[in-house]
Amino acid sequence: MDGFAWMFAMLVASIGLLVVIYARYYMSPEDPVPRFFSFFLAFMGSMLGIVLSGNLILLVVFWELTSIFSFLLIGYWHHNARRPRRRAHGADDHRHRRPGAARRRAADRPHRRQLRARRRAGVRRLIRSHPLYVPTLCLILLGALTKSAQFPFHFWLPTRMAAPTPVSAFLHSATMVKAGVFLLARFWPVLAGTQEWFWIVGLAGMTSLLLGAYFAIFQQDLKGLLAYSTISHLGLITLLLSLGSPLGAVAAIFHMMNHATFKASLFMAAGIIDHETGTRDMRRLSGLFRVMPFTATLAMVASAAMAGVPLLNGFLSKEMFFAETIETHATRSSTRRALCRLRRQRLRVAYSVALHPSAFFGPPPTDLPRDAA
């Protein structure tokens, strides 16, 4: 349990708690609710196992368990989710110490930190200079990029919209898709800093960032728009990790937290709209602010954070993103990447703003499957 694992464990547990409370009121009494919560809690436990694993064998075991339980959750409504489901898938003892021993231990701490730093530097050099570094890197990236729906494996994520909305909210914000970028960040200290890491991870992240934002603009389904925006934001995180700088890694981890908060809020708002109106088609939705002002306000604030509006958390991570790209990496290739990010920011604002006029403002909704009033 280091700081990074603690942060992710708190993220998974807190978002999971909110989604469980949300699912209590979202699920119908006619549904097999005990089966749903059993799979859901097993899925949450598997994700906690990934972030708290102390060795690679345990990590692989829990990694596969998340795939199994997400498969079962997506197939919860098996009558319309079968095809998408197939596509997706050494502590110190402090007792009885004398004051002198405690003072000697405190004096030894800087020396031990230096030894650990030298040992880590030696491990990094050993791994990066090994003849199997490139195949090892490619295989690890294959698993991480597939899990996080990064190009060219981005096609599976939008097919998971057949799952119940609580599953989509948890999967897109704190668990399944975050496992891939968590793995990239976990291996970042020993694998990053090479040209192979920079180009493979950077190109995958940049392509996912632009493609996800571009396809999100043309979506008419609320959950479809949010799914493609997830691909784009994960591409941003992947791209930051590709830079190989400590500040880039900090910005990536910070955006993981920000993305989890506003994406979970948006999915739960989309689920409320679907639950009350019977549709997620934005062409049929309008004027919902009159009948559900609290949901509309929540969705608009979360969308503003996703678009990077000042004074919200998305703005802070966006500024860290631009600063790390332009100021620290002012080379020709990084400048081109910065221009791509500026284009992506325009696309992000476009699909974030597209949600508001079509669904919340305008004339009252008519010809809906359910009466939202």
Residue 158 banded pLDDT, cuts 50, 70, 90? confident
Each residue of 11-62: pLDDT tens digit? Answer: 999 999 999 999 888 887 777 788 889 999 999 999 999 999 888 899 999 9
pLDDT at 298: 86
Are the CB atoms for 264 and 174 separated by under 8 Å?
Answer: yes
Helix axes 78-88, 56-74, angle to 10 degrees: 150
CA distances 94 to 91, 97, 100, 109, Å, are 9, 6, 13, 15
Q: Is pLDDT at 150 greater than 70 in this prediction?
A: yes
Q: Is pLDDT at 96 greater than 50 in this prediction?
A: no
CA atoms within 13 A on the CB side of 292: 23
Share of the chain above pLDDT 70, in %: 76
- Report whether the peptide linkage leading into residue 152 is cis, meaning its omega lies within 30 degrees of zero: yes
Each residue of 256-285: pLDDT tens digit? Answer: 988 888 888 888 888 888 888 888 878 788
* Helix residue spans in 89-221 (DSSP H): 99-128, 133-147, 165-173, 176-191, 195-217
Q: How far apart are CA 133 and CA 258, in angstroms?
A: 33
pLDDT at 10: 92
Each residue of 317-360: pLDDT tens digit? Answer: 777 777 776 665 555 455 555 555 555 566 666 666 666 666 77
pLDDT at 183: 92
pLDDT at 58: 92
CA distances 290 to 65, 199, 238, Å, are 43, 49, 39
Averaged pLDDT score across all residues of the chain: 78
Are the CB atoms for 114 and 100 separated by under 8 Å?
Answer: no
Q: Is pLDDT at 370 greater than 70 in this prediction?
A: no
